[in-house]
Amino acid sequence: MSAPSRIAAIFDVDRTLVRTATERRFFWYLVQHRQLSWIQALTFLLGLARHPRERFRDKSYLEGQPTARLDALAHRCYTESIAPRLSPRGRSCIHRHRGAGHAIVLLTGSLNCLMQPLAKDLQADGLLATHVAACDGVYTGRITGLHPRGAGKLHLVRDLARRQSFDLSRSYAYADHVQDLPLLLAVGHPVAVNPSAGLKKMARERRWPVEYF
């Protein structure tokens, strides 16, 4: 007999569970702690301005950073700057889902090394985040694997659902932006959290719950 299907509660992170843009905060944390010079930071930001479509995929500011040192800084940044911005209502929501026996999945375009401490803090069963390639103990600045944004989030969730026997038709998803529509439309219980104007409009039209964490 096949294993019974499970229910998942899938949470976006930035501006949903956490009241900040986590990777942006990490970028400035690296500048503040002199792991990125002002010249490096400005060069990166000018590159984003020239190629705005790549702004979510461009991780070139991490090129040449030793993985062990950067991962340690990511953990410090989480503890000092991100954990204090974790929504108490979001944490309570996760606690309720865990009490109901649901698997907790964090889904974010933020960096995996930055989100690992959050996943541990929340005792998440799964984390889908952005992985940056490394070679000889140094980050290359290039993304490896599928980028968790827009339709990419849905592909990653469907793959995880197959591997973990999640029934998406009975599962929950919490997100804040219209970019998350592919994910929200794929689950039985979509919830708009701190929604952008576009998502709030869509939620009202479809009579989805709207919550504020």
Q: Which residues are catalytic?
A: 12, 14
Which element (helix H / strand E) includes 141? strand 138-144
Indicate the helix (H) or strand (E) that contains 181: helix 181-186
Q: With left for phi above 0 and alpha for psi between -120 and 50, is residue 189 left, alpha or beta?
A: beta
For 61-119, what is the HEC assignment? HHCCCEHHHHHHHHHHHHHHHHHHHECHHHHHHHHHHHHCCCEEEEEEEEEHHHHHHHH
